[in-house]
């Protein structure tokens, strides 16, 4: 079993108002079977034993689906492996890259304020969903699920968009810290389905306006998000969202209100 010592430069920041800085640690006896986060767990246990503040980082499922983990590793959002979240990086692959030194940073974006160390606040993404990332269907009022067949290719494509885990790597990787891929994934998922048509125009308007209001940058078509996205969501969905938005504002001017729940 291969073992290695790895030098880590980790962003430490005690709270939102702290300026933050890198600190250097040595992770010893890192084995090829460990995951990247297990390496940090191990380091943290040692820090705790030494009475030092362990590195705070977000994680939960550790199987690439909850979207909680979030680190920029040596300049790559979620690390260098394609379609892989931070929690799914295994040291085997880090060894293969010959890395002895690793820089770990949080997602950096105005809309994702840092809470502590590598933990950022991503509630802005929830707010974008609140603006219309849903189909307004009252519980219990649905018709039979098989009443409206959906061609398989359309359903599959909708799935490709729906698979977004809301991790925010797209924002982290984007040179403009834009949330376009995240927003487009939801817009695209619902716009493709017959159920999503009724609110299609109001949805895209409201979600895009909210994305902008929250201080994310605008898309300038670099395509970095698509590469960083652990679910491989295509920037074609951004183009489709753009088209829908233009349509909603130019062709179908209609009502620019978000769907009103009349709470």
Partner 1 sequence: MATKALTLYDTTIGKKAVMAASGIILLGFTLGHLSGNLKAYAGPTEFNEYARWLRTMPALLWGARLALIFAFSAHIYSAFSLWRRNKSARPNRYQKKVDLATDYAAKTMYLSGPILLFYVLFHLVHLTFGGQLFGDGTIFGIEGYTWEASNPYNNLVHGFQHWPIVIPYVLGNLALGVHLFHGIWSMFQSIGANHPRYNQYRRDLAIMLAALLTIGNLSFPIAVMAGYLEPTTLRFNFPELL
Partner 2 sequence: MELKSHEPTGPIEQRWTEHKAHSKLVAPHNRRKHTVIVVGSGLAGGAAAATMGELGYKVKCFCYQDSPRRAHSIAAQGGINAAKNYQNDGDSVFRLFYDTVKGGDFRARESNVYRLAELSTAIIDQAVAQGVPFAREYGGLLANRSFGGAQVSRTFYARGQTGQQLLLGAYSALERQIAAGSVKMYPRTEMLDLIVYEGRARGIVTRDMVTGKIEAHVADVVVLATGGYGNVFYLSTNAKGCNTTATWRAHRKGALFANPCYTQIHPTCIPRSGETQSKLTLMSESLRNDGRVWVPRKPEDCDKDPKSIPEKDRYYFLEERYPAFGNLVPRDVASRNAMYVCENDHLGVGPKIPGEPRRGVYLDFADAISRLGKHTVVERYGNLFEMYERITGDDPVETPMKIYPATHYTMGGLWVDYNLESTIPGLFVGGEANFSDHGANRLGASALMQGLADGYFVLPFSVGNYLGELRTPPALEEDDAVCKDAVREVKARLTKLIEAPAAKHGPDHFHRLLGNIIWKYCGMSRSRDGLKDALKQIPELREQFYREVKVVPNKDETLNQTLERASRVADFFELGELMCLDALTREESCGGHFRTEHQVDGEAKRDDEKFQHAAAWEWSGDASKPVRHEEQLTFEYVKPTMRSYK
Q: From CA 219, how far away is CA 225, in angstroms rounded?
A: 10
Where does this chain touch partner 2 (CB under 8 A) — which range of 98-106, 160-168, 216-224, 239-247?
Answer: 160-168
Q: What's CA 49's distance to the chain center, in Å?
A: 33
221 lies in the site for partner 1, by CB under 8 A: yes
Name which of 27 and 233 has its Cβ closer to ligand SF4.
233
- CA-CA distance, 164 to 154, in Å (whole number)? 17
Q: What is the rounded distance in angstroms from the CA atom of residue 176 to the CA atom of residue 106?
A: 16
Please name the residues in contact with 119: beta carbons below 8 A apart, sequence gap of 6 or more.
56, 57, 58, 106
Considering beta carbons, is residue 96 or 126 the nearer one to ligand SF4? 126
CB closer to partner 2 out of 103 and 134: 134
Give the x/- contact pattern for partner 1 in 152-191, rule: CB under 8 A.
Answer: ---------------------x-xxxx-------------
CA–CA distance, 55 with 8 (Å, rounded to integer): 11
DSSP 90: B
Instruction: Draw the binding track, 57-76, toward partner 2 (x: CB under 8 A; -: no contact).
Output: -xxxxxxxxxxx--------
Q: Which of 45, 101, 252, 255 binds partner 2 (CB under 8 A)?
A: 45
Closest CA to 225 of 239, 212, 210: 239
Q: CA–CA separation, 139 vs 136, rounded Å? A: 9
Binding site for partner 1 (CB under 8 A): 9, 11, 22, 72, 74-76, 80, 103, 105, 108-111, 130-131, 173, 175-178, 205-206, 208-209, 211-212, 215-224, 226-228, 235-236, 238-246, 249-250, 256-261
């Amino acid at each position: 079993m291969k073992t290695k010592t790895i030098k880590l430069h980790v962003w430490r920041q005690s709270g939102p108002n702290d300026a933050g800085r890198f600190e250097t640690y040595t992770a010893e006896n890192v084995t090829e079977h460990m995951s990247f986060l297990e390496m940090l767990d191990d380091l943290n246990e040692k820090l705790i034993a030494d009475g030092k503040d362990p590195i705070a980082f977000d994680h939960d499922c550790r199987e690439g689906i909850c979207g909680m983990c979030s680190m920029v590793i040596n300049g790559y959002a979620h690390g260098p492996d394609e379609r892989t979240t931070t929690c799914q990086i295994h040291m085997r692959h880090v060894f293969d890259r010959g890395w002895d030194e690793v820089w770990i940073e949080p997602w950096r974006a105005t809309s994702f304020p840092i809470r502590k160390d590598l933990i950022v606040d991503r509630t802005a993404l929830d707010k974008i969903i609140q603006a219309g990332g849903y189909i307004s269907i009252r519980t219990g009022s649905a018709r039979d699920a098989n009443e409206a067949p959906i061609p398989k290719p359309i359903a599959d494509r909708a799935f490709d968009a729906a698979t977004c885990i809301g991790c925010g790597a797209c924002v982290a990787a984007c040179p403009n810290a834009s949330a376009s891929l995240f927003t487009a994934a939801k817009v695209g998922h619902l716009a493709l389905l017959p159920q999503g048509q009724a609110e299609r125009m109001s949805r895209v308007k409201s979600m895009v306006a909210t994305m902008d209001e929250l201080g994310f940058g605008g898309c300038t078509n670099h395509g970095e998000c698509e590469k960083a996205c652990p679910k491989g969501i295509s920037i074609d969905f951004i183009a489709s969202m753009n088209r829908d938005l233009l349509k909603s504002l130019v062709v179908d001017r209609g009502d620019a209100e978000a769907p009103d729940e009349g709470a």
